[in-house]
Chain A
Amino acid sequence: MSSSSRAVLLSSLLIGWGTISAYPAGKQYCLVARGGQSGDQSQHPTSRDEHPREVRKLLLSYLQAGNLPEAIDLGRDSVRRWPHDAELRHLLGLAYFKARQDSAAIAEFQHAEALDDLNAAIPFDFALVHLDQGQYAPAAEELEKAIKLDPSNALAHLLLGRAYQNTNRTLLGIDQFKAALKLNPELPLGHYHLGFAYASLGRNPDAIAEYKKEIAHNGDNPTVLYQLGHVLLQTGDWESARLFLQKATEIDPQSAEAFYDLGKALLLARDTNAAIVAFERCAQLSPTDPSPHYQLARTLDNTQTGGMAFSQSQ
């Protein structure tokens, strides 16, 4: 499978950051996945004349309830009244971010950081905005700030590792993944990302070891299963690869990548007919990807069609 396809797949995996339980409780306003504007519309503020501390609580409750219009309304009003309150700006930034108003969110985070450069939660949440936009370099900068202020945040290390890897700083990324796993050995996807970094450096035995650790507590994740199968296939262990790839396709029957590698594993196991089925499934799922067509053509060329298939594929 082309590396670009894999990158897309990984990127979709990374989007899951929002669903990972994030920051240590009580230190910041960990995001949940971005979504629509839902929530209990009946929870309107009864008063906006309270102390900013009370307003922050109210604003947070709106955010947690997904009541974004109210949160933004309250946030705007409150930052007009208390323009130097970093926390209010931070929360308003989160509200904008959840409402997919990224430019406004970024502006509020920048204000918040300027007002309070000692709160690790602000650069951490700011980094999430950048990550969501695929802006890895500024995300890395924010995460570096967050970790400098709070080195104990395992998820920050993990996300920084991903940001580094997406900006071609793989070695630094590995250091961050290791740091994350040292803080939390069971951090979801920690071993997976470390394994992927190793694989990108051709360190397949190390990658396999990390993927297997991930599968030990995240065994139904088709992406992890696929990557493990992919690397096992690269190392020539197609029998093992086939097992993991088969499972990956069963869990996620839409995974063109898994079907592709499954086809290759089956081909190496000389199960040509099953390989052809897998390649055909991959081609159906990813019709513009030339790789399954190439494999089909070569497989057919080597079997029954006496060379016609390859000509047709071209």
Chain B
Amino acid sequence: MIDRYRLVLVLAVFTGIVLARAFSGSAAPPQRSQKRSPSSSVHSARQTHVPSSISFADITRASGIDFHLTCGSPEKRFIMETMCGGVAVFDFDNDGWMDIYLVNGSTLDDVAVGKCHTGKLYRNNHDGTFADVTSKSGLNHCGWGFGVAAGDYDNDSWEDLYVTYLDGGVLYHNNHDGTFTDVTANAGVGNPGHWGTSAALGDDDNDGNLDLYVANYVDLDLDHLPQFGSGPFCQYRGIPVSCGPRGLKGGRDRLYHNNGDGTFTDITEKLNIDSENDYGLGVLWLDYDQDGCLDLYVANDSSPSRLYHNNCHGVFDEVGARAGVAFSADGRAQAGMGIDSSDYDNHGWPDIVKINFSDDTNNLYHNDHNGSFTDLAGPAGFGPVSIPYLGFGVRFIDFDNDGWPDIFVANGHVNPQVDQHSFGVTYAERPFLFKNLKNGKFDELGLRAGAALSRHYVGRGLASGDFQNRGAEDLLMTVLDASPVFGARVQMKAGNLSQTAEVRANSSFESASDSRLHFGLGTATHADEITVRWPSGRIDKIGTEDADQELIVKEGAGVVERIRRIIHSTVSK
């Protein structure tokens, strides 16, 4: 039984590794040594008005995180050198504060000589800083890492980690003492011989045990790598670049069923998952048709995306094309990267955002409430601006706590060679911040949201989390070639505002985010009603709850704990 979901009813200042934090108006970012006085730390849980401006600050250095992501050579001559950067935001020590795990890559030379670049685990010090606790954590697999999923696969109430590598995956069991143990072999989730990218944990059969989906990209032979610029699939706009994925063999994704005893069974073939061996990059569990069973959406590179409908009886039907989420609005296969889901129009149904390669528009698939989606990226003001940009990570976040999900996109091209030409496409790119205008449209604020978002990065992984438990969602973005910068559905009503969200940690690109649900209340002082539909089908209704607090809800027991949060307003006064 999964019984520990925490719902955050707060607001906040948005923060934004590049740990960046947002500040409203012209307020300067607080210095680490400064203590906030009560008068300066505005404590309204409500958003009194829409901030006239939001400014993001890069707080990576101040946070104490000193991580260098290794990912091949700067020239990116081979495809696996372009895709690193998974990040997990999770609470490994169960202290109620979000910690960070950063996956590391490698280089061909280092792989050849067995040199390791392990990932890093950072513990939250509760003061805006983090401590590197990797050395004694046991997270020490030596490989070329890509993505990570976080979740409590064995229901011991401690979050575990699954990390994807160029040659398989590793499941780390959380030992409850700050250490982890590699239990891959016993669990049977090694994904042997496959290059895993994103992974996601979700309970597909409502048995209370998290199952595991691993998106596999390309089956590579490191001894026979396709040579840079050597063929038709090694060109971009006529210039030589790294080869693939077209022309390379796609890796078949894996779906592992959790047996509830610490082991998993590979049910990929049984359920006919990814029979086309697509180039998997993004994966997301969601219940798009609200039948109480988690469905699966997979973003594939250079091939149609797939939507597997779970019929609640152990069968997954691929319905992507019929549902309108396999192709672009014009019926073309796209190069999908990161994906996320949220109810951006507060209609009560999960919508989907998918980020694509450059020279294409990103998708905003609106849930039409009938099993089908319509790509409204253009009308929403979300699509065309993305044409010269190549996005990877994407997250719905309510950065201004107005109760309407906004969208953040981590951009960065895969071919550094583009900088030698005047394509209008660059290798490093600025990220996007789309503000939800509450009318189905978004306003891209990136260039108006401070220097941190105006800078260009080669963005990859992206995760969000409330690192300071102040009711504000912060963002963590991994970048290349530089120092870094689960099934319950909850409906919350506050005044005229109704929001719906699903508990999910794994989305975006190769990343895992804070699994607590975050509801901004806009101008409301309290939530009028909260309804939780658990994976078991049980529905718990929770009455009025004040804003500015974190609720821990247990199935059948309702709210079991309330944690007051001191909130910093988005509004400078």
Contact = CB atoms under 8 A, between A and B. Distances in A.
Given A234-B383, A235-B378, A307-B322, A169 B332 contact: no
Contacts of A204: 384-385
Given A202-B385, A202-B387, A171 B422 contact: yes
B379 A268 contact: yes
A202 B380 CA distance: 14
A170 B424 CA distance: 6
B421 interface: yes
Contacts of B383: 234
B301 to A, nearest CB: 18
Contact of A291 (B332, B361, B385, B389): B332
Interface string B344-371: 0000000000000000010000001010
Contact of A236 (B322, B324, B380, B424): B380
Contacts of A235: 378-379, 381, 384
A238 B388 contact: no
Contacts of B321: 310, 314
B237 interface: yes
Most buried by B among A164, A200, A202, A233: A202
B413 to A, nearest CB: 14
Interface string A196-234: 000111101000000000000000000000000001011
Nearest to B424: A170
Interface string A262-303: 001000100000000000000000000011011100100110
Interface in A135-187: 164, 167-172
A1 interface: yes
B197 interface: no
Contacts of B322: 301, 307, 310-311
Given A202-B387, A310-B321, A172 B330 contact: no
B434 to A, nearest CB: 14
Given A1-B330, A290-B331, A291-B332, A302 B441 contact: no
B38 interface: no
A294 B322 CA distance: 10
Contacts of A169: 421-423
A54 to B, nearest CB: 47
A202 B389 CA distance: 9
Contacts of B380: 236
A290 B328 CA distance: 12
B314 interface: no
Given A295-B331, A314-B321, A168 B387 contact: no
A265 to B, nearest CB: 11
A236 B379 contact: yes
B370 A168 contact: no
A186 to B, nearest CB: 26
Contacts of B324: 298
B124 interface: no
A293 B368 CA distance: 21
B327 interface: yes
A20 to B, nearest CB: 25
A261 B445 CA distance: 29
A170 B422 contact: yes
Contacts of A298: 324, 372
B30 interface: no
Contact of B424 (A1, A2, A201, A290): A201
B378 A172 contact: no
A200 to B, nearest CB: 7
Contacts of B381: 235-236
B114 interface: no
B386 interface: yes
The 9 A-B pairs with the shortest beta carbon distances in the complex, nearest first, are: A236-B379, A294-B331, A202-B387, A170-B424, A168-B237, A234-B378, A171-B422, A169-B422, A202-B384
27 contacts: A2-B332, A164-B422, A168-B237, A168-B238, A168-B421, A168-B422, A168-B423, A169-B422, A170-B422, A171-B424, A202-B385, A202-B387, A202-B388, A204-B384, A204-B385, A231-B384, A234-B384, A236-B441, A291-B331, A293-B331, A294-B327, A294-B331, A298-B324, A298-B372, A301-B322, A302-B372, A310-B322
Given A172-B422, A236-B379, 12 more contacts: A169-B423, A201-B388, A202-B386, A202-B388, A204-B384, A235-B379, A235-B381, A236-B376, A236-B380, A291-B331, A301-B372, A302-B372
